Structure 1
Amino acid sequence: MAMQIPTTARAVASLGILFTALAIGACGGNPPPAEQPIPPPPPLPPTAPPAPPPEPAPVLDPAPVVAAPMPEEDPLTTRSLDELNRESPLVPVFFAYDRHEFDSDAQADLERNGDLLAQYVDWVITIEGHCDERGTPEYNLALGERRALAARDYLVSLGISSERLRTVSYGKEFPFDPGHDDEAWQRNRRAHFVITAQ
């Protein structure tokens, strides 16, 4: 059985607990610190004003773009053999009657032909030796051969490879001029240059 506590004692104990609680609550220790406002941050050191943005570069009218000129295609490299030989970039060389030596005009023409052959290194040519209608066929074939060989040798002396130079003699068989006078004969005594490969 449980023991009973007298009511007076209970009342006294209750009052004691109440006073103790009030005393503790009243004493509560130190009062809470008063809220202090946060101090403002210290001022920043003075700085120079920001630099203005750089001036934009002046806009110039763009210079017109001029395309580099296209190298012109060399007409002598685009022609067929037939066209080249019709145009005759290599000039014939003419001889005195019964001769296979060159005068100064013939030498100048051979040098011009040599310059072209040096420039167009793929050209292979045939040098045809021709004569006028006077003389026997055998004599004219031999003279035509001497003329073709003389022209070949001169070109070789200018540095043109003999591998690119063929010779043939036609004697009097293919006259340039069909006439029968000194003027026609002069035109027929020649070394003629034919481009046979390019």
Structure 2
Amino acid sequence: MVRKLALGLVAIAFVAGCKGKQTQSDQSIETLPTGGQSTAIDSTPLNFDPMGSDSGKISGLVTVHFGYDKSSLDASSKKDIATNVEWMKANPSVRVQIEGHCDSRGTIEYNVALGERRANAVKAYMVSLGIAADRLSTISYGKEKPLETGDTEAAWAKNRRANFVPAQ
């Protein structure tokens, strides 16, 4: 009994001693200089357009649409992308972000991954047609920025897309 009590006290003392002890790496992290930059969290709200975004933000670029649960490019998609590539070749200083979007069906996680595959498929095809990869960036919004709400095939079809917006 005394042995168990002594063992318990040693264990408590050990845990308390470890908790209060700070390692060298912890100390160096806390004292790192910030180089004059603020480490405060930016509380500026994100710009969120509830109607989504579309390629109309850059006149001359068109939205690419996808089939249900697809990230592959069909003939119509390739034609639209080729039009966008020609526009980008005529405007060599422009950088764009390709946004991948999905319809409202499926989980958030699944749709973010699908939107990413869509945006990356468009980017890869544009690069294969001669656009420098560093002029293109991608992002996926999954189902979070629909152009049209509703649970109809027409609404879903409008939301399965890749948009082109000015890159900053």
Q: 1:174 aligns with which of 129, 145, 156?
A: 145
Moved more, 164-173 or 85-94: 85-94
C-alpha deviation, 1:149, in angstroms: 0.2
Q: 2:133 aligns with which of 159, 162, 169?
A: 162
Q: Which runs of 4+ in 1 moved over 3 A?
A: 84-88
Alignment partners' CA distance in 1, 2:145 and 2:60: 20
TM-score (norm 2): 0.65
- Are 1:90 and 2:27 matched, yes or no? no
TM-score (norm 1): 0.55
Alignment partners' CA distance in 1, 2:59 and 2:103: 21
Aligned amino acid, residue 164 of structure 1 = R
Aligned amino acid, residue 158 of structure 2 = R
- Are 1:127 and 2:98 matched, yes or no? yes
Report if aligned partners of 1:129, 1:170 keep a CA contact under 8 Å in 2: yes
Corresponding residue of 2:38: none
- Are 1:192 and 2:147 matched, yes or no? no
Report if aligned partners of 1:123, 1:164 keep a CA contact under 8 Å in 2: yes
Aligned amino acid, residue 155 of structure 2 = A
Which structure has the highest helix share of the two? 2
The SS at the match of 2:167 is strand
- Are 1:118 and 2:102 matched, yes or no? no
Please say which structure displays the higher CA radius of gyration: 1
Percent identity between the two aligned chains: 47
Moved more, 86-95 or 137-146: 86-95
Report if aligned partners of 2:58, 2:165 keep a CA contact under 8 Å in 1: no
Aligned amino acid, residue 188 of structure 1 = N
C-alpha deviation, 1:196, in angstroms: 2.2
Q: Which runs of 5+ in 2 are unaligned?
A: 1-54
Report if aligned partners of 1:85, 1:195 keep a CA contact under 8 Å in 2: no
Report if aligned partners of 1:147, 1:191 keep a CA contact under 8 Å in 2: yes
Q: Give CA-to-partner distance per residue, 1:30-71, whole Å, 9 cap, x none.
A: xxxxxxxxxxxxxxxxxxxxxxxxxxxxxxxxxxxxxxxxxx
Structure of higher RCO (CA pairs closer than 8 Å, 6+ residues apart): 2
